[in-house]
Amino acid sequence: MGDSAVCGVVGCAIDQALLGLSVKLAEQSRPVAGTDVLLRVARCSGLDNALREAYWQLLDDVERTRNQRFRFQADRDRHLLGRALLRSSIAEWLGTKPQALSLRLDAHGKPQLGNAPNVFEEPAASEQLHFNLSHSGDWVVVALANVPVGIDVEHTLRKSDVLSLAAHYFYGEELKELQSFPEPEQRERFFDYWTLKEAYMKARGEGISLGLENFGFRLHSEGACAAQANTGENSADKNRIELMLNESLQDNPQAWQFFCVSPVAEYRLALAVRSAGKATIRTEEYWPFRESTPLDWRLN
């Protein structure tokens, strides 16, 4: 059998599998009353050649071209897994095929949905969908919600001078709080604030143009973000993480909820949700074509 025939068989099998999976899971992935957030994670170290081939079939020509421009395999894997995770999750939420989606980047580099063919013929579903993607090191994370949402994950073992970044770009009160920690802890605690700042900027959709020095966070619990994920309920104590703003941003801190966790010792993850009501967060490790495993994480 020639290569084109093999690709045709593989593509057909993928289409059938994903359409069936999308129809089956769309109802449970869709937003319900209140604020529903779906948080999915995957690790690049779990990729094998079979998954790489399957995920490649989900990408459009623009995504494939961009993927091929990466020099290192690790970067190609992060991009590939991120797009596959994002496309599959959106498709399940809307009840369509991942390949049918048109994803584009806006002026701030945030992925946007160009079109959303819906097998349930409910165009309102795509209008209510908000999503965000982040990756760092081995981890790729996607957040979907029926309200504005931002997600950020950071590998904390980077070699850059993060405390110098804080001194130049952190909000005044935020910087003071960071510097109040014992000096050996400050570098590690930097990522608590940094991931929250990134998540907020991404949720607003304006990126770095907000100005990092125009807003900051106060962590009312010393272990708010540092504690590793473990068994327990998601805490929606909005007062544990407080948003502080310059008036120029014209936003209401009470309209937001923030969550964070350290899934493993070398990573920080933060989530920003624009909702006055209590957010229900479902977290799972997800591999398109293979499995979905609930994660009993305690956020905050």
* Domain annotation covers residue 299: no
Fill in the DSSP letter of residue 297. -
> Between the CA of residue 279 and those of 37, 208, 254, 299, what are the distances in Å?
7, 26, 14, 11
Per 3-state DSSP, what percentage of the chain is helix, strand, and coil (rounded to 5)? 45, 25, 30
* Domain annotation covers residue 31: yes
* Domain annotation covers residue 300: no
Higher pLDDT, 191 or 229: 191
Which range (57-61, 147-151, 189-193, 261-265) has the least confidence?
261-265
pLDDT tens for each residue of 132-167: 999 999 999 999 999 999 999 999 998 788 899 999
* Domain annotation covers residue 269: yes
Mean pLDDT, residues 262-285 taken together: 92
Rounded distance between C-alpha atoms, residue 20 and residue 128, angstroms: 23
Strand partners, 241: 219
pLDDT at residue 121, rounded to an integer: 41
Helix (H, G, I), strand (E, B) or coil at 116: coil
Q: What are phi and psi of 193, to 5 degrees?
A: -75, -40
* Domain annotation covers residue 181: yes
- pTM, rounded to two decimals: 0.83
- Average per-residue pLDDT in the chain? 83
The residue range of the domain holding 247 is 3-294
Going by pLDDT thresholds of 50, 70 and 90, the confidence category of residue 126 is: low
How many domains, the chain? Answer: 1
Residue 126 sits in a domain whose CATH number is 3.90.470.20
Fill in the DSSP letter of residue 46. G
CA atoms within 13 A on the CB side of 247: 0
Sheet strands (E) in the chain? 35-43, 102-105, 111-115, 130-136, 139-145, 149-155, 215-219, 241-245, 256-261, 267-274, 279-287, 291-294
